[in-house]
Structure 1
Amino acid sequence: MSRWLGWTALLLLGLGFSACSDRNSNPSADGEATDGDTDGDEETAPSDGDETDGDEESEPSDGDETPERMVDLVNPFIGTGGLGYSVGSGLPGALAPFGLVKVSPDTEKETGAPPFYHCSGYHADDTIIDGFSHVHIYGAGAADLGNIRFMPILGPITPDKTRPMNYRSPFQKTNEYAKPGWYAVTLDATGTTAELTATEHAAHHRYTFSAEPADGRGYLLIDLDEGVPSTRVTDGGIAVDAEARTVEGWVLSSGDFSGRYGGMPIYFAARFNRPFDHWGTWAGSHETLNDGAPVQSGDILGAYLGFDLGDGEPVEAQVGVSYVSIDNARENREAEMPEWDFDGARAATEAAWEDELSVVRFEGGAHDQRVIMATALYHAFIHPDIFSDVNGEYVGFDRQTHTAEGEAYYNTFSLWDTYRTLHPLMTLLKPERTRDMMTSLVKMAEQGGWLPRWPMGLGDSGSMIGTSADVAIADAYVKGVADFDVDTAFAKIEAAASGPAGHYGDRGGIEEYMTLGYVADDKQGGSVAKTMEYGVDDSAIANLARALGETEKADYYAERSKNYRHLWYADEQFFFPRNSDGSWITDLSLDSWEEPYTEGTAWQYIWLAPHDMRGLLGLFGSQESMTAKLTTFFEEGKREAEGGTVFALDAPAYYWHGNEPDIHAAYLFLQGGRPDLTQKWVEWISNALYSTAPDGLAGNDDCGTLSAWYVFSSLGFYPIAGSDVYLVGKPLFPHAEAALAGGTLTVEAPDVSPENIYVQGVTLDGAPLDVPWFFHRDIAQGATLHFDMGPEPSEWGKIGPDQGPPSP
């Protein structure tokens, strides 16, 4: 849940929002057409929610039906709701896999749109649509983008109608639909049906007006001044060419991420299927309309386009978007939408989604589980997103235009979150995209000087802590994704790991970390969190160095990855901050956020050593002691989650699946010799903290992080990020297949059920797997992982205190 906002204040602003407890208030994305036979061209009514509200156990599949299409299982409304710290920041709009364009509604309530609830522009509890904008970030904890807003209204046009408060429209959830690559809604204010579809770089709008306005015209407003809450537009330009039926322009947009480096220009080029019967622009204010004025610049900028509705035909717009130039935006649109064919564009994007999602197939399980799994894959394939245009051009961190040769340039890396689950999932399922993503990170470092921490747009936002790009790069390389400039990557990694600090993507407190073995609290904020994150980063560097044949460096970083142990306060069994003179700071609340623990509590940071599980066990002194503490952590976390109210005004103190530092913690029971508790708690998380409802995520998905956790855990294993090790959990489905680059990974668990959650035995390609971990190389060329399941814990996978997954 990476963000750096005033959390409590933002949550207080959001108290006017109700929790998404009425889980039937939002439609199912797949409607009633979930049998795989729909051709995608018919709009079906949404379901009444009974199938997807997550409150009742749906019937398991026997696996003999016609295989379901993945796109028919996906519900884009999952994660679009939530209250307080459980807000998902999802968006239901139309987008292609990893697409630059994400055209989606921006919404609010009568009481407004608190930024924290509208980081993606949308919240499931909202009842008003402000308009449809073209660029968004999915699942983040900070608000940015939401630019280039379109909104249909009825004539006659007046200056007041161009004001956002006046052109917005209420809508009904029963008239709102979404599937991969398509969104539709009816606007109550005008009776207009809006439909959206998208390709990677372009959006196609279709507006069907049902009312008969007094002047016979329907209008489309293009408002360049608006964005999601917290986004500011400080400059721009617009040009209308009525003869060519085009509107083109740009904005300089500055949000919670892009504002940190001065904002970013966004360009668009739109064309329309019908002539403008009446048109004009506004600039500087909404006081005056400039009929027939083709060009404007500045802020508070927009255009109004009037269309004669006499023939009853819809008004359509195709909009190309680019971060390079208007010419590129036009080229993007022309390349991807050469014809006026909304249904064809929608079908093509739906087919692209089916192809991407079908990398994993699964059978059996409950219907809701299949919906959650397909949607988790869908959400995992949104970010990082393509930033380069169809001609390969992109603007780099040096603000110069470059050309990506032979690959796409990606952006929007929520690395403090995504390194843990999303990037390992990309490495496993999408190695070619992973290569391009790693190349993109290297290009950012070459063009900007350093590897970024949270890159978005033209620079690094600096959000969060650590040098998490190290982990993503190491994870890719040690698992065989080697076709990128790893030598430059390693040099840039070492530069930040060695200090000094003071640049973007740096390690604050690195000097003390290197000399004292920890980040000193009197020198640097977030001292405990940084020490522990640096340990994870160093372990990944050690693994990367070893794979590169740099043995001495590997040994050095491996030893340094254990620095976190210097903050272990044995008397209390917590990690506590220390000053530069070695003194301890122990007068801290253990169950609330304190400054040394970035976005977490002392309880949650106990477990941030997945790279050194045996070392962590050593600090506890025994498996029993570690297991007891971890059990308390989960039992109290379960109590908090079931209570619910804690999420409204205060973050959970114990296990919090909606945040990142502890999301691996259920797998640490393996080191305590209790794989049955890993299985128990993974089962609980999967069932209790995920659902098909709008509040079906436990917090911000953080660009797919929580979704990737679900995918891994449903397959029965989980990555130690930055290494080639997978930890064994329990599978969710009787049969699943993942199409890897080297062959098919098959996961079999024929007896798994809500009762049979405990692993009795595991084989890998027919050979017994006696320890609860394996290596990427064991499955990279395809393999069969078979689980025997039963209703009671077994002896399988129990290890002694001297055993454990390998550390660097």
Structure 2
Amino acid sequence: MMYRIIALATALGLITACGTDRGQTQTAEKQELAPAEYVNPLIGASTSTGKAGIYHGLGKTFPGATTPYGLVQVSPNTITGGDNGSGYSYEHTTIEGFAFTQMSGIGWYGDLGNFLVTPTTGTLHTARGKEGVPGSGYRSKYAKEDEKASAGYYAATLSDYGIRAEMTAAPHSGMLRFTFPQNKQSRVQIDLARRVGGTSTRQYVKVVDDHTIKGWMECTPDGGGWGNGDGQARYTVYFYAQFSKPFKKLGAWQADIPKDWKRKREDIESDRYQEQVAKAAVTDSVTELEGDHLGVFAEYETQSDEQILFKSGISFVSMDGAEKNLQKEITGWDFDGLHKQATGLWNNALSAMKVSGGSEEEKHIFYTALYHTMIDPRMFADVDGSFAGGDGKVHQSSEYTRRTIFSGWDVFRSQFPLQSLINPRLVNDMVNSLLSLADERKKSYLERWELLNAYSGCMIGNPALSVIADASAKGIARFDKEKALRYAVQTSNQFGNGDRGYTVEPFGISNTLEYAYTEWCTASFAKSLGKNDIATDFEKRGQSYRNIFDKTNGWFRPKDAQGNWKPWPAKGRMADDYGSVESNPYQQGWFVPHDVPGMVELMGGREKVAADLTGFFEKVPENMMWNGYYNHANEPVHHVPFLFNQIGKPWLTQKWTREICRRAYHNSVEGLVGNEDVGQMSAWYVLAAGGLYQVCPGKNRFEITSPVFGKVTVRLDPAYAKGKEFTIIAHGNSPANVYIQSAKLNGKAYNQCFIDYHDIAAGGTLELTMGPKPNQEFGQ
């Protein structure tokens, strides 16, 4: 695909040279931009709570250089502490440096942000310093006007030092190019203790030769990180790094942190801690060093515009693994060639979907959203397939790629249904990774939010069961199904509604509804394997949502352990956190995806539900920021716009999905109304803007809605699907023509507002004719 685009662009250039109309040619060029050219990594790159109106903040994405699902992300870091999981926020005015690992779109204080590299001049600073206090540390102001971010590339000018910093990446390694001013004290320094939301607790470095170093950084819960230590992240980052300009000697600093000091997030943010780091002992030459707060630096005399490049392989396995990763991926010092390679990887990955029609802004939003769905779950294995297991041992697999960062509660809803269409291998990689991790950790259940082998326990529910059941239902499962079922049953038995038939506080509504769904998933999966006894049991459990529906108040309501209703609050179902996590009962109560007819019956029938849903959307603020009604900023409601399809009013699904796409997504830093949540927020847009959405993973029904674009093509994987591609064409589509008038599937009249996964996987074309007014006969 990439080569066809390049060839077409070249041909257009030749035509222009021959005198063809310039305006027509420019239009054609705009239409034929390569997918990576539409990506704007700055979309969502803000943690601002003020602008979000809620402590959850905005997108929390990182703007740095990475490759599709890459282990390495070379990105600017503007802050170490606080609830800033990406390490970067656009409104900050200084950069601490450029780290080789980052998380995307998460809260809970974050983690990674390891191996922080900062080019500096003048006096050496060993502490990061404070924003707004020039000279207090190695951080520097940077010029926003020349900050550049694209797929596989980032650049900024550190104005305090007059240094231009550029970075690009390969899957397991990265490269930075620094353009220095004339200075007798120029350097590249590396803070080995640096970690988002905390600090690494032990570090090691060794000089290999006059331009190579290797080492590691150990990160434990004692050093904060994920959930400020509550997420139990425990990992070691290994590096093998080289400088393009040999150093005569390698300097180092070592801070004397008292043994009785704690090293959680709030501790390392404190003035006393940073003052101690600023007083670190500096040694101008080391060959090998180990300690609990280290940094190293290579110092040079530079000429004006002299470039020094720095590259490193990263591994979570070993220093040898980091070396192999670098040697395999970056053999020389061709920064521009590596950048071109990264762009090519993105063009190939993003070609999984192709859109035409729509505005240029909508294309930027779409391809950036698709890009953000291709950050995680990232590869965790080295180039030779070896990976660090949950048992602390090194494992190797050629059967699947070990992956990490499974933000389960978020991503089971849209991210994994999307990947099942465009990247089913990744779905199987993640399931195999979770199953193997449970074996390695000798756990009886599957983790709901996995990070670097940690059983973090973050959020609620049993989302892995959704992914397993969905893969099985679609016929794309390539994992040990018997083992998966055993873990599904054990997980539901350990974390489920159990014999009581509901879950008590905290979050009695959220947990009961989510467990009911994943218990249904277990039933569906068991039935597909012929395990009818298990299926019958879990089908009954799947109906446990009914046990907390209060007919008096007409809504879901939490119970205590004795079966008594919890007191009904003055705000009723609008009461924040009443039985609900990060939501209110009004928002959480719509989550019965596996039995929408049963839910509707409880709520009083289709017409009553339709009226209630209409108010639920009409009371949302224009900007769709955090609110008590349809709150697109958070996951519990993401399926709700598509419920209109299932209650006989599909034109309202068409109306509201187009409204959400228009009002909640923008080509700007504040272009996401809530956390990106590791691909979920963006996957919702990719699916909805493409005209499809799966309300209930585990059932093969995809809702049809009004696409943003005139044409959307999904590239199918021939190892998993019969067809080559599936295309949706929306005739007459426009911002005014948002309603489906009629449809054809492969040339034949089609009057359903949904389509089966297998019809998509078979390949073909769904044609929609659009109009300005609802056709209330369509889809009935």
What TM-score do the two structures reach when normalised by structure 1?
0.85
Question: For each residue in 1:643-665, what CA deviation from the matched residue of structure 2 results, as whole angstroms up to 9, or x when unmatched?
Answer: x5xx4xxxx21111111111110
Which residue of 465, 484, 502 corresponds with 2:479?
484
Q: CA deviation at 1:257?
A: 4.8
Which residue of 659, 672, 689 corresponds with 2:634?
659
User: In the alignment, which residue of structure 1 is the partner of 2:645?
Assistant: 670
Distance 1:670-1:179 versus aligned 2 partners, 3 A rule:
same
8 Å contact from structure 1 (residues 282, 296) kept in 2: no
Q: CA deviation at 1:222?
A: 0.6
Q: Secondary structure at the match of 2:186?
A: strand
Which residue of 516, 529, 546 corresponds with 2:510?
529
Q: CA deviation at 1:249?
A: 3.2
Question: How far apart, in 2, do the equivalents of 1:226 and 1:766 lie?
Answer: 59
User: In the alignment, which residue of structure 1 is the partner of 2:262?
Assistant: none
Question: How far apart, in 2, do the equivalents of 1:357 and 1:423 lie?
Answer: 16
Pair 1:334 & 2:301 matched: no
Pair 1:126 & 2:92 matched: yes
User: In the alignment, which residue of structure 2 is the partner of 1:240?
Assistant: 207
Q: Secondary structure at the match of 2:168?
A: strand
Q: CA deviation at 1:160?
A: 7.3
Q: CA deviation at 1:413?
A: 0.4
Query: Residues 750-769 of structure 1 correspond to what in structure 2 (within 5 A)?
Result: 750-769=731-750
Which residue of 442, 460, 465 corresponds with 1:465?
460
Pair 1:376 & 2:376 matched: no
User: In the alignment, which residue of structure 2 is the partner of 1:179?
Assistant: 150
Q: Secondary structure at the match of 1:77?
A: coil
Distance 1:62-1:283 versus aligned 2 partners, 3 A rule:
closer
Code of the aligned partner of 2:363: R
Which residue of 40, 44, 55 corresponds with 1:75?
40
Pair 1:360 & 2:326 matched: no
Question: How far apart, in 2, do the equivalents of 1:339 and 1:471 lie?
Answer: 44
Distance 1:160-1:452 versus aligned 2 partners, 3 A rule:
closer
Distance 1:350-1:672 versus aligned 2 partners, 3 A rule:
same
Q: CA deviation at 1:244?
A: 4.6
User: In the alignment, which residue of structure 2 is the partner of 1:577?
Assistant: 558
Which residue of 502, 511, 533 corresponds with 1:518?
502
User: In the alignment, which residue of structure 2 is the partner of 1:552?
Assistant: 533
Overall identity of the aligned pairs, in %? 32
Q: CA deviation at 1:65?
A: 5.7
Pair 1:682 & 2:665 matched: no
8 Å contact from structure 2 (residues 233, 452) kept in 1: no
Question: How far apart, in 2, do the equivalents of 1:268 and 1:592 lie?
Answer: 49
Pair 1:791 & 2:755 matched: no
Question: How far apart, in 2, do the equivalents of 1:658 and 1:378 lie?
Answer: 19
Q: CA deviation at 1:469?
A: 0.2
Structure 1, 592-601 or 358-367: larger mean CA deviation = 592-601
Query: Residues 706-721 of structure 1 correspond to what in structure 2 (within 5 A)?
Result: 706-719=681-694, 720-721=696-697
Pair 1:771 & 2:747 matched: no
8 Å contact from structure 1 (residues 98, 383) kept in 2: yes
Distance 1:326-1:65 versus aligned 2 partners, 3 A rule:
closer
Distance 1:666-1:273 versus aligned 2 partners, 3 A rule:
same
Question: How far apart, in 2, do the equivalents of 1:770 and 1:160 lie?
Answer: 65
Q: Secondary structure at the match of 1:368?
A: helix
Question: How far apart, in 2, do the equivalents of 1:158 and 1:665 lie?
Answer: 52
User: In the alignment, which residue of structure 2 is the partner of 1:412?
Assistant: 405
Q: CA deviation at 1:477?
A: 1.9
Structure 1, 309-318 or 120-129: larger mean CA deviation = 309-318
Code of the aligned partner of 2:548: L
Q: Secondary structure at the match of 2:406?
A: coil
User: In the alignment, which residue of structure 2 is the partner of 1:722?
Assistant: 698
Q: CA deviation at 1:766?
A: 2.4
Code of the aligned partner of 1:558: E
Gaps of 5+ in 2: 12-25, 257-278
Question: For each residue in 1:677-698, what CA deviation from the matched residue of structure 2 results, as whole angstroms up to 9, or x when unmatched?
Answer: 1111101100000000111111
Q: CA deviation at 1:433?
A: 2.1
Question: How far apart, in 2, do the equivalents of 1:181 and 1:161 lie?
Answer: 26
Question: How far apart, in 2, do the equivalents of 1:38 and 1:265 lie?
Answer: 47
8 Å contact from structure 2 (residues 96, 128) kept in 1: no
What TM-score do the two structures reach when normalised by structure 2?
0.88
Q: CA deviation at 1:218?
A: 1.4
Question: How far apart, in 2, do the equivalents of 1:63 and 1:610 lie?
Answer: 43
8 Å contact from structure 1 (residues 104, 133) kept in 2: yes
Count of matched residue positions in the alignment of Structure 1 and Structure 2: 716
User: In the alignment, which residue of structure 2 is the partner of 1:225?
Assistant: 193
Pair 1:146 & 2:122 matched: no
User: In the alignment, which residue of structure 1 is the partner of 2:616?
Assistant: 633
Question: How far apart, in 2, do the equivalents of 1:333 and 1:77 lie?
Answer: 27
Structure 1, 375-384 or 566-575: larger mean CA deviation = 566-575
User: In the alignment, which residue of structure 2 is the partner of 1:212?
Assistant: 182
Question: For each residue in 1:563-620, what CA deviation from the matched residue of structure 2 results, as whole angstroms up to 9, or x when unmatched?
Answer: 1111112232221011233321242243242251111101101211122111111112
Which residue of 29, 33, 58 corresponds with 1:87?
58
C-alpha root-mean-square deviation of aligned residues, in Å?
Answer: 2.4
Q: CA deviation at 1:71?
A: 0.5
Distance 1:663-1:374 versus aligned 2 partners, 3 A rule:
same
8 Å contact from structure 1 (residues 145, 253) kept in 2: no
Question: For each residue in 1:428-475, what CA deviation from the matched residue of structure 2 results, as whole angstroms up to 9, or x when unmatched?
Answer: 100122222221121112212231110001221110111110001111
Question: For each residue in 1:213-232, what CA deviation from the matched residue of structure 2 results, as whole angstroms up to 9, or x when unmatched?
Answer: 2xx2310111012222x222
Pair 1:191 & 2:198 matched: no
Q: CA deviation at 1:540?
A: 1.7
User: In the alignment, which residue of structure 2 is the partner of 1:610?
Assistant: 593
8 Å contact from structure 2 (residues 742, 769) kept in 1: yes
Q: Secondary structure at the match of 1:515?
A: coil
8 Å contact from structure 1 (residues 154, 218) kept in 2: yes
User: In the alignment, which residue of structure 2 is the partner of 1:733?
Assistant: 709
Pair 1:256 & 2:231 matched: no
